[in-house]
Amino acid sequence: MMVHVQKKASCVFFAVFLMLAHGLYAQRQRPVIITLASALPRNSTWGKSLDRIAADWIRLSNGEVTLRILHQYPGSEGEYMMKLRQDKIQAAVFTSVALNSIAPEVMALSIPLFIRNNGELDAVLREVRPILDSKIEEKGLVNLAWAKAGWVKIFSRTPVRVPNDLRRLRVATSPDEKELFDAFESMRFQMVGVTISDTVQFLNSGKIDAIYQSPVSVNAYQLYRVANNMCTVNIAPFMGGILMSKIGWDRVPDRHKPALREVIRQAGLEFENSFQRSEEEAVADMRRNNIIINTITPQEEEEWYRDIGSYIPGLVEKNIFNREMYQRIVGILENYRRGR
């Protein structure tokens, strides 16, 4: 009788073991699918980089993690964020405007005429990136990569060399960029809320006279055909990043995370290099189409820094920009400029 019970128990144990083993095997065989949304077309620099990342993720994870790229995904960045929260997508490419909606500290990177060149931007990012990543993670998101996407410039119907030249013009800004809208208005500029898709119409109808935008975007939308003057001063860096929901990131097996994250980091560096070339090519292309480049003198450049800089502390006091991050960046820039 005892032998019979033991044999029966052994059979039950063996059956349970087989069921568990089969379940684990099936779970191991089922790939994790991460869907990433991007507004940019497949044949763009960033679109091609995303496709390479997807191929590398499959290879490095031995097929256990699939990254599905949705190129030219419709909707605003706000809608992307909503779908990320709803787990309809698990990752997306965002600009600093959307990143600011998650962590207001990010907008300090875009304070006008604050960070002046790539050297200063690199010095700032080295120190503040971990802080910003932590702030983003507190909101249930993981920042897989930052990418510098060039510098915002001023394009206008008439030449702009100093701040008061711009104050005489009606300047377009995105309705989604409330902080920048409020900042420029506080600095006595005439701001008009215009979406990028309506900018051509507003320029042609004379409702606006100037825009601040990336040269790559201005070339792509051919805005320079009306706003045919470009001032060479750097208004602010244009930043991007790839965010994933923590829910989606938790689905990725831990053993693959370091390698997959490194692939995205390397792609971000490649994108920065290629975007710099794209910006140079965009300016060269616009030159061939008779855009006027207004190269400012060192004295005019100093006038921009002195004029705009006089307003920045007041904007921080009004909480348009995060005080703590602003003060941290001030310290970094002072050290960097002393060391040059």
| % of the chain with per-residue pLDDT over 90 | 56
Whether 256 is covered by a domain: the verdict is yes
* Position with higher pLDDT, 254 vs 102: 254
User: Which domain covers residue 190, as residue numbers?
Assistant: 16-339
The number of domains in the chain is 1
Phi–psi pair at 92, nearest 5 degrees: -160, 160
Residues 100-132: tens digit of each pLDDT: 778 888 889 989 999 999 999 999 999 999 999
Question: Is residue 2, in this structure, part of any structural domain at all?
Answer: no
Asked if residue 95 is part of any domain, the answer here is yes
- Look at residue 33 and tell me if it is in a domain: yes
Half-sphere exposure of 215 (CA within 13 A, CB side): 26
The domain spanning residue 208 has which CATH number? 3.40.190.170
Residue 78 has pLDDT above 70, yes or no: yes
Q: How far is CA 86 from CA 80, 98, 145, 245, 249, in A?
A: 10, 17, 22, 10, 14
3: in domain: no
Residue 275's contacts (CB-CB under 8 Å, 6 or more residues apart) are 45, 46, 147, 148, 149, 150, 216
Q: Ramachandran region of residue 89, left (φ > 0), alpha (ψ -120 to 50) or beta?
A: beta
At residue 15, the pLDDT reads 47
- 227/159 Cα distance (integer angstroms): 10
Q: Which amino acid is located at 338 in the chain?
A: R
Can you tell me the distance from the alpha carbon of 185 to that of 192, in angstroms, rounded to the nearest whole number? 10
C-alpha angle 67/68/72, rounded to 5°?
A: 130
Note the pLDDT of residue 25: 43
320 Cβ partners below 8 Å, 6+ apart? 179, 182, 183, 186
Please tell me whether the overall predicted TM-score, pTM, comes out greater than 0.85 for this model. no
**Does any domain span residue 30?**
yes
Backbone φ and ψ for 194, nearest 5 degrees, come out as -145, 130
Inside any domain, residue 6: no
For residue 242, pLDDT beyond 80: yes
Per-residue buried b or exposed e for 228-251, using 16+ beta carbons within 10 Å of the residue's own CB: bbbbebbbbbbbbbbbbbeebbee
> Mean pLDDT over residues 82-95, rounded?
92
* Residue 11 forms part of a structural domain: no
Q: For residue 211, what are the CA distances in angstroms to 37, 92, 232, 297, 336?
A: 27, 27, 13, 21, 30
Q: What mean pLDDT comes out for the span 131-136?
A: 90
CA-CA-CA-CA torsion sign (149, 273, 142, 68) = positive
pLDDT recorded at residue 149: 79
What is the per-residue pLDDT across 187-241, written as a single tens digit (0 to 9) for each?
A: 999 999 988 778 889 999 999 999 998 898 888 888 999 999 999 999 999 888 8
Does 20 score more than 70 pLDDT?
no
Whether 170 shows a pLDDT value over 90: the answer reads yes
**Per-residue pLDDT at 320 exceeds 60:** yes
Residue 26 gets the label, from left (phi > 0), alpha (psi -120 to 50) or beta, of: alpha
Instruction: Convert the pLDDT of each residue in 147-163 to its tens digit.
Output: 887 899 999 999 999 99
